[in-house]
Amino acid sequence: MRAKTKIRDFHQARWNEPIIFDLSTPGERGILLPEIEPEVEASAGGALDELPGDLKRSNPPGLPEMAQMRVLKHYLRLSQENLGADLNVDIGQGTCTMKYSPKINEQFAASPQLSGLHPAQNEDTVQGTLEIMYQLEQFLKAISGMDRFSLQPGGGSHAILAIVSMIRAWVDDRGLSDTKDEIITTIFSHPSNCAVARTKGFKVINIYPDPKTGRPDLEAFKEAVSERTAALLITNPEDTGIYNENIKEFTDLVHAHGGLCSYDQANANGIMGITRAANAKFDFCFFNIHKTFSSPHGCGGPGCGGVGVKEHLIPYLPVPLTSFDEANNRYYLDYDVPKTIGKIKDYYGVIPAIIRAYAWIRSLGAEGLLEAARVAVLNNNYILNRIRAMKGAEAPYAEGEHRIEQVRYSFQPLKEETGCGFDEVQRRICDFMCHLWSSHEPFVVPEPFTIEPTESYSREEIDEYLAALEKIIEEAYTNPDVLKTAPHNSSIHHIAEHEYLDDPKLWAVTWRMYNNRFEGYFEPKKEQQ
């Protein structure tokens, strides 16, 4: 830690703000519309007259009734009560690639020139947008080595769905439906790979990591591959941040058995300009455009999963593609895809994510992308070395090796030695204006946490985060109650345990459901019968 690294004396805003429905006052309005003039009404009819009767509500919706100023204050207060990406050090949200999205890119995406477009406009009037889509595809082709891309999917899992739909179509097309019915994936690949494969009617085989190296167990993989293998869906590096340098051996083996290979590059932040899917002989790949390229992951609006394929699979891509007619010097939406899996998203896909990615790539250039990847890897390994030295934390697998863009760590020693594990650290770190994500399955790594610094964070911010972690670990050994009763400086104090997530009977996913089941904020009204 640098001498100047200080832990911030932080306290979050606390407004004790009610839910907006509780703020409603009957009759209060934001805007009072003038009565329609009688002559206008006589000429044009009532606003709802042309709506079919069975589409009209019999009762007005139960929306909150508030004046504008109160609405503004309500949402500003709420915004001060969260740890947004523009406020906190977000490197604890590993796997999500929480990089800084330059504000100018946000302005492009929100510009009236774009937001004013109607998706059903004539193609000739949206040539600029189509050109951006076309050019972004060329960039992605260069980055991956693939031959064509579809930007239609609205996120990573949607991209996986598109890919496995193409695998299904490819298998059926060859009359192999009965014989090629298995898909192999790894336990540390994103669980959507397994889930989508099942959704599309394949049997799924999971490969666990080699206990020492953390890489997918090659021997197990060899046992799993057979003539029944339709495809391999794999991430590399996986959430452990360990790069599988034997990846081509995996793809070669699948190809030798007549299967296809798909590379889940949802997070490609550590390998841009360094490795390419095509070089490892993948038939498919996808990028989370909204994650690696400019936009931070999650809650930043809808995403975009760009799906790339090699030449032999272009006929299966979802429609429309964006093509260029050289003879007429115009871009157009191309529906001429003979074996397409069809349309999977409305209109053009998610244009704001595409615009941001285009702007980000253009601003960095090829050298800049490579530099971003290198800095992300450097940041990550700096953190890895610091955390390896922390008592109570460990980085399972691949001892002594470098990692790529993130690491799945474990607080298991801390838990065993102090009784404080991930949950306690997660709550306590809010007191230092930082965030730590619980990480997802597989829980092969106990008390897991994942840190991914990306290229955006400075050494000072990384040091601040690590200083907070060190302080919390020290507290766990000397005064664990501080952790167990945390957070102390946050907008909300220690909230209910996770059982609300575990029991569907306690779920309240709408306000109406919440009202029916609970009173207060977090206390159950009564046991559900």
Partner 1 sequence: MFRLGLIINPVAGMGGPLGLKGTDGEEILELVLKKGALPQAPSRAAHVLKALSQEKDKICLLTCPGPMGADTASQCSMPFETIPLEINQKTLPEDTRRAAKMLQESSVDLLLFVGGDGTARDIGAAVGERQLCLGVPAGVKMHSSVFALSPHHAAEIALGLIKGRRPQPRLAEIMDIDEEAFRADQLRARLFGYLPVPGSQRGLQVLKAGSSASEKAKQQAIAAFFVEEMDPNRFYLIGPGTTTRAILQALGQIGTLLGVDALQDGKIMGKDINENDCLAFLDQAGFEQATIVVTPIGGQGFILGRGNQQLSAEVVRRVSKKQILVVATPDKLQLLRGSPFRLDTGDPELDRQLCGIYRVLTGYRESAYYRAEL
Contact positions vs partner 1 (CB under 8 A): 187, 194, 198, 202-211, 217, 219-221, 223-224, 396-397, 415-416, 418-419, 421, 423, 438, 440-448, 497-499, 501-504, 524
Residues in the chain: 529
* Closer by beta carbon to partner 1, 80 or else 213: 213
Shortest separation between residue 199's beta carbon and partner 1, angstroms: 11
Report yes or no: 186 and 207 within 8 Å, Cβ to Cβ. Answer: yes
Instruction: Please state the closest distance from residue 49 (CB atom) to partner 1, in A.
Output: 47
Q: How far is the CB of 446 from partner 1 (least distance, A)?
A: 6
CB 433, min distance to partner 1, A: 23
C-beta separation of 364 from 372 below 8 A: yes
Nearer Cβ to partner 1 (298/315)? 298
For the CB of residue 121, give the shortest distance to partner 1 in the complex, in Å.
Answer: 41
Tokens of 4: 């100047």
CA distances from 251 to 7, 31, 235 (A): 47, 61, 12
Q: How far is the CB of 223 from partner 1 (least distance, A)?
A: 5
Of residues 11 and 222, the one with the C-beta less far from partner 1:
222
Helix axes 156-173, 191-199, angle to 10 degrees: 40
Of 96 and 445, the one with the shorter C-beta distance to partner 1 is 445
Q: Which is nearer to partner 1, 142 or 506 (CB)?
A: 506
Nearest approach in angstroms of CB 168 to partner 1 is 15
**Angle, vertex CA 32, rays to CA 31 and CA 35, nearest 5:** 145
- Taking the least distance from each CB to partner 1, the nearer of 312 and 440 is 440
- What is the smallest separation between the CB atom of 222 and partner 1, expressed in angstroms? 8
Whether 445 and 502 have beta carbons less than 8 Å apart is answered as: no
Name 434's Cβ contacts closer than 8 Å, sequence gap at least 6.
Answer: 83, 88, 89, 92, 464, 465, 468
Cβ(449)–Cβ(94) below 8 Å: yes
Q: Which is nearer to partner 1, 221 or 348 (CB)?
A: 221
Task: Identify residue 316 by its one-letter amino acid code.
Answer: Y
Return the SS3 of 264. strand
How far apart are CB 284 and partner 1 at their closest, in Å? 22
For the CA atoms of the chain, what is the radius of gyration?
26
Nearest-angstrom CA–CA distance, 377 and 455 = 8
Nearest to 101 by CA among 363, 405, 438: 363
Closer CB to partner 1, residue 40 or residue 443?
Answer: 443
Strand 229-235 versus strand 203-207 pairing type = unpaired
How far is the C-alpha of 340 from the C-alpha of 321, rounded, in Å?
10
CA atoms of 176 and 178, how far apart (whole Å): 6
- Nearest alpha carbon to residue 160 among 196, 127, 125: 196
Identify residue 343 by its one-letter amino acid code.
K
Query: What is the three-state SS of 432-452?
Result: HCECCCCCCCCCCCCCEEEEC
Q: Give the nearer residue to partner 1 in terms of CB position, either 224 or 274.
A: 224
Q: Give 11 or 440: the residue with its C-beta nearer to partner 1.
A: 440
Q: How far is the CB of 63 from partner 1 (least distance, A)?
A: 30
Identify the bridge partners of residue 434 per DSSP, sorted by sequence position: 89
| Contact (Cβ atoms closer than 8 angstroms) between residue 410 and residue 400 | no
Q: How far is the CB of 203 from partner 1 (least distance, A)?
A: 4
Of residues 324 and 500, the one with the C-beta less far from partner 1: 500
Selection from 406, 413, 408 nearest residue 390 by Cα: 413
